[in-house]
Structure 1
Amino acid sequence: MRKFALISLCLLMSLFLINCKDDVAPSYTITIEVNYPDGFTVADFPADVLVTATNTNNTRTTTVTAASDGNAIFELVEGNYNFTTSFAVNGNDGEEYIFNGIISNYSLISESALTMNLILANNSGGFILKEIYYAGSRTPENNGYYEDQFHEIYNNSGDTLYADGLCIASLDPNSSSKQTSWVDGNGELLDRLPLIYQAWMVPGNGTDHPILPGESFIIAVDGIDHQTDENGNPNSPVNLGNADWETYMEPSGKDLDASSVPNLTLVYTTITTIQDWLVPVYGPAEVLFRLPENDWESYVSDANNFMTKPGSTSSTEYLMIDKEFVIDAVECARLDRDERYQRLPVELDAGYTAIEAGSYSSLSVRRKAKMIIGNRVIYKDTNNSSEDFLHDLTPTPGVNPSSVEE
């Protein structure tokens, strides 16, 4: 009897070990070849080019240093991955050159070899999206409240810039969890970007609104003190009663116009019935841009600047802008989905930032302070939001940090 029990126990343990072995995900070797842009050679790059693999199913990261031949070799378990790199090189001319690379949503199911084409970032300075508070807050009744959203736009250069004619909008689709339809026959993102909901512009004749180096301006969805106003939310983290601009949706007939805050110009909207600027609370892809010759009326009267969504039966027309119009762009991802799709071309943003606490969390994303010269903060701007932004912060519109951040 004892011998029979021992044999049975051994059989059970064997079955257990076999089942456990079956449950372990297989691992594969994947080689990422870092492909340098035209005009650059391996010798132009540092020896420690780091490539990071992020498993989008569990957000675990693995970082490998590329060898002298430009190949980074990973041993990874089966899964869905993003591969990224971002680094800077000081040229002989004394300038800093920043390079980004990304491969998104790669399904690793066998040994593989991929090429990562590096992009030279255009970080010449200018207007940047410094802080974006898109998540919104919750009311005492636990309802979602997004009317306290704001964007802070900052002059990151050493010159006086003019906000006149500067435009801001979000891209379609309204979430990074949706694969975009705006692609060409090869599945690559179009060179023209589709604007969703509303596009806004700072009015002026060209020199009406100077922004000095190190100064910024605030665009509020509703320019009120959200903590105390009867139309606000006492749980909101912000007072936007002193914002520089607000987005007043006059076509809806429902929006309240804050008399103390001037209105931006509504360039175009895909939906006229919503009472406020609809910034996606799950994570927008945001663009700052200028239209040709700052002539928005001529631009929106040209039918060639509109498209319906590819593959859709909807008649909704989206205003399209050339990616060359873009001054700054930020991809804000939705983290409660395993897959995240880029809506911005890699040369505009090679990464993403996000609110890990999720929508209606009263938190924002903000660029890192790269250096401080006198009283002026210079913010990090590598065209890679994964590197440039801090996240899950208490919103601080108009406030700059007092020390450099990593």
Structure 2
Amino acid sequence: MKKMIWCVLLLAVAAVSCKKDNERTGITPVNLIVKLSYGLDSSKYTLPLAGVTVRIKNTFTGSTQTLVAADSGIVHFNGIPAGAYDIDAVMAFSPAGYMQYTGLEVSDSITFNGSDKNRQISIGANQVINLNLVAGTTGEWVIKQVYYAGSDTKNGAIFRDQFIEIYNNTDHALLADSLYVAQLFGRQNNTESAHYLQANRQLDWSKSKDMPAGIDANNDYVYARNLLMVPATKRMVQPGESIVIAQTALNHKAPFTGADGETITVLNPALTIDLSGADYEAYYAPYLPNPYPSDIDNPGVPNMEVIQMDGRDLVIDNLGRDSYIIFKVDASQKVTEWPRYNLPKIAALGSTDKKYMQVPVKYVIDGVEVMQAAASARAPKKLGALIDAGFTFVPGGSYSSQSVIRKTAGMVNGVRKLKDTNNSTEDFDYFSIANPRGFK
């Protein structure tokens, strides 16, 4: 009897202690309900919700939970801590499976994605989120590698060695001519309040000066700060091969003479890369009164055609606050005449306010969302799930020499196929040292 009384007392003390711990830490469990649906172009068929994988990640602790939906398409995450979460849903169909449900014949697997990034889950009643899954475009070209971080500011090449790599992810040769590469712009932090914002806290481009009223400025378009085009050189890219577009196509490990006659060198060549063998380079000097001295033209490497430029060279944001797309257009489009718009500024515009080219999403072949390594510093997403349901980053951050690199999915008839689910969180890894034409 004494033992029983003693056990009851211990349980009571433990319960009080747990209650006090919860009160002290402020952790109150929340129930999160995710309701899934498909965004389909046709009402002639339906797709199953059973089997959709839903993952939530606490952006502060990094902890994750994954559940699989049943027929109802409703998933319950019970007793999770309140906080900010990245919520992702994915469903992949094989060509045979997709044809079974839709009657449509496709050559590759179809992946549907849905995402809601940095969603605040508050204390209170059940939190309900509706998540719409869409199938993004699986293109012939993919963005394979983005080296945005740059290398050490004292011992490396700073930002001079940045590049973007694009890959032929098919089983046949592709013509690279007139392939467009854009560095996109959007809200870059979570604190500024100088612009009109959407509900997702990204810029509300519909409020831009002279924006037409009859278009969906935020969902049907993205906005480029730099836009380059592969020149018409009849360049054929074979299956499994890529093109490297360098900011400056030089060997950054070795000293070179800048446009001002001064020698540019690095203290530790191991931190940077050789881009003298790049396929194309961004050469801004002919368009500017004061280009960077490091913007040297390599006569052996063709220059990209500059359609829109922002700054004194193709300087990619080293923090990871821009996103990137590639696209091609049909003969009816004159890209140089596409409209440009100011940021949706609340205050009156000034004479020096920049304009950004409006790019229709329907032409986008592939896109990659890049964000900062620290979750607390990440800005709202610029790309919707139709282009990129996730995001990627280098863990070392700015000037780390690291690059983001698309993963290998497998080999098909001796050709390397890269992973392309339109979710860069799943599709990308990173190199400790950027490696043009390398693979993961």
The answer to which structure has the higher strand fraction is 1
Going from structure 1 to structure 2, the CA distance change for 1:62 and 1:184 (only over 3 Å counts) comes to farther
In the other structure, the counterpart of 1:129 is 143
In the other structure, the counterpart of 1:10 is none
TM-score (norm 2): 0.78
What is the aligned counterpart of 1:258 among 284, 287, 298?
A: 298
1:97 shift after superposition:
1.9
Work out the CA distance in 2 between the residues paired with 1:47 and 1:318: 42
Contact 1:377 1:400 in 2 (8 A): no
In the other structure, the counterpart of 2:362 is 324
In the other structure, the counterpart of 2:408 is 369
TM-score (norm 1): 0.84
What is the aligned counterpart of 2:36 among 1, 22, 34?
A: 34
Contact 2:137 2:366 in 1 (8 A): no
Going from structure 1 to structure 2, the CA distance change for 1:308 and 1:65 (only over 3 Å counts) comes to same
Going from structure 1 to structure 2, the CA distance change for 1:162 and 1:137 (only over 3 Å counts) comes to same
Structure 1 stretch 381-390 or stretch 48-57: which is displaced more?
Answer: 48-57
Work out the CA distance in 1 between the residues paired with 2:254 and 2:419: 34
In the other structure, the counterpart of 2:381 is 342
In the other structure, the counterpart of 2:335 is 299
In the other structure, the counterpart of 2:73 is 70
Instruction: Mark the runs of 5 or more structure 1 residues left unpaired by the alignment.
Output: 1-12, 402-406
1:163 shift after superposition:
0.9
- State whether structure 2 residue 264 is matched by structure 1 residue 236: no
In the other structure, the counterpart of 1:181 is 203
In the other structure, the counterpart of 1:193 is 222
Work out the CA distance in 1 between the residues paired with 2:91 and 2:432: 25
Work out the CA distance in 1 between the residues paired with 2:75 and 2:206: 29
Work out the CA distance in 1 between the residues paired with 2:59 and 2:397: 16
Going from structure 1 to structure 2, the CA distance change for 1:317 and 1:327 (only over 3 Å counts) comes to same
Question: What is the CA deviation profile of residues 213-244 of structure 1, one whole-angstrom value per residue up to 9, with x for unaligned ones?
Answer: 11111111111111113334324331101111
Question: What is the CA deviation profile of residues 47-69 of structure 1, one whole-angstrom value per residue up to 9, with x for unaligned ones?
Answer: 43210111122322111221221
Work out the CA distance in 2 between the residues paired with 1:238 and 1:130: 17
In the other structure, the counterpart of 2:57 is 54
- State whether structure 2 residue 193 is matched by structure 1 residue 162: no
Question: What is the CA deviation profile of residues 12-54 of structure 1, one whole-angstrom value per residue up to 9, with x for unaligned ones?
Answer: x999877533223111111101112335899843743210111
Partner of 1:53: helix, strand, or coil? Answer: strand
Contact 1:181 1:310 in 2 (8 A): yes
Contact 1:176 1:334 in 2 (8 A): no
Question: What is the CA deviation profile of residues 58-108 of structure 1, one whole-angstrom value per residue up to 9, with x for unaligned ones?
Answer: 322111221221111012111011210123112234752211011223211
Question: What is the CA deviation profile of residues 161-217 of structure 1, one whole-angstrom value per residue up to 9, with x for unaligned ones?
Answer: 1111111121112747574314558x9933221111x21111116xx1111211111
What is the aligned counterpart of 2:134 among 100, 119, 130?
A: 119
- State whether structure 2 residue 83 is matched by structure 1 residue 79: yes
Going from structure 1 to structure 2, the CA distance change for 1:368 and 1:45 (only over 3 Å counts) comes to farther
Work out the CA distance in 2 between the residues paired with 1:222 and 1:229: 14
Contact 2:161 2:273 in 1 (8 A): yes
RMSD: 2.8
Going from structure 1 to structure 2, the CA distance change for 1:64 and 1:170 (only over 3 Å counts) comes to same
In the other structure, the counterpart of 1:356 is 395
* AA of the residue aligned to 1:224: L
Going from structure 1 to structure 2, the CA distance change for 1:379 and 1:86 (only over 3 Å counts) comes to same
* AA of the residue aligned to 1:27: P
1:292 shift after superposition:
4.8
Contact 1:165 1:294 in 2 (8 A): no
Work out the CA distance in 1 between the residues paired with 2:143 and 2:248: 18
Contact 1:224 1:232 in 2 (8 A): no
